[in-house]
Structure 1
Amino acid sequence: MTYLSHVISKLYRPSSARQVFALSRADAERLPLLPTAAVISITTPERGPAALPDFQHMLRLSFEDVDHQSSDLSARAKAKLSRSFTTQHAKQILQFVTELPAEIRTVVVHCEGGFSRSCAVASALHNLYGYTVEQQRLTQANPSVIAVILDTAQPKTRKGKGK
């Protein structure tokens, strides 16, 4: 069973707790349209929007995959800093998830590869709201994205609160 097949089976059988999955763009573009799922679509600024089903609850963001809080950035990464994750992106994510209706049981977050930015958002949602995650899938999460989301949410939000 592929990871996408596994996620789709979970979409059709959501748990009682809200769950979050991180996917690649290619996998997200193959998702079925379900009324119990919401999507956070993350693309790079030089690429167009992902070709996703018309989910009723969808947030589209565009930013570079840069660990901007790292002290050891390559020249290539430094060139992308002006298009990296910001507090404004974090606020949009936090507002989006806190305003989701109760019937939304799953949030799917995708980025281009499904390893860094999407995993960072999934990890932050787990830390802030207790969303169920597959922790082993989040090992390459972008630490700067996680930190900015958590810093933006604190001290207003604590784990266990929210929907």
Structure 2
Amino acid sequence: MKTLKALGMAIATLTAAQASGVYAEQTLNIGFTGPLSGGAALYGENTLSGLRMAVDDANKAGGLKIGDETYKVNLISLDDKYSPSQAATNAKRLVKESNAAAVFVPHTGGVFALQDFNVGDDFLIMAYTSVPSVTEQGNPLTVRIPPE
């Protein structure tokens, strides 16, 4: 779990580590579940666009270095229409089908829905919310952006 927490901090801050000029050979799948259709679609698309830019920057810098390993980052996105229950379904799918190590969620309801099972399913929640109660839940695999 220590490695997963380190991974989360690396991803959450979206800091690209300099790999020694060699492109990362391992791939780290990161999931995104957010509103890509419906009334909040513009918000979801803008958030996803920012994530794509960060992933591109990290990969251009050689990948993310976590411990002694360097990873190419692959972002997989699913539409949850701003629905917490659909966010939960998407997260299950991202983890099981795509082996996502982390799932980025840009809405509080979705974060709370994922916190019901993320520890058992062993994936990090990257919570994009300013609601402090998300981290006050004490879920050890939740990183909130922005932090307090």
TM-score, normalised with respect to structure 1: 0.37
More strand per residue: 2
Bigger relative contact order (CA 8 A; separation at least 6): 1
TM-score, normalised with respect to structure 2: 0.40
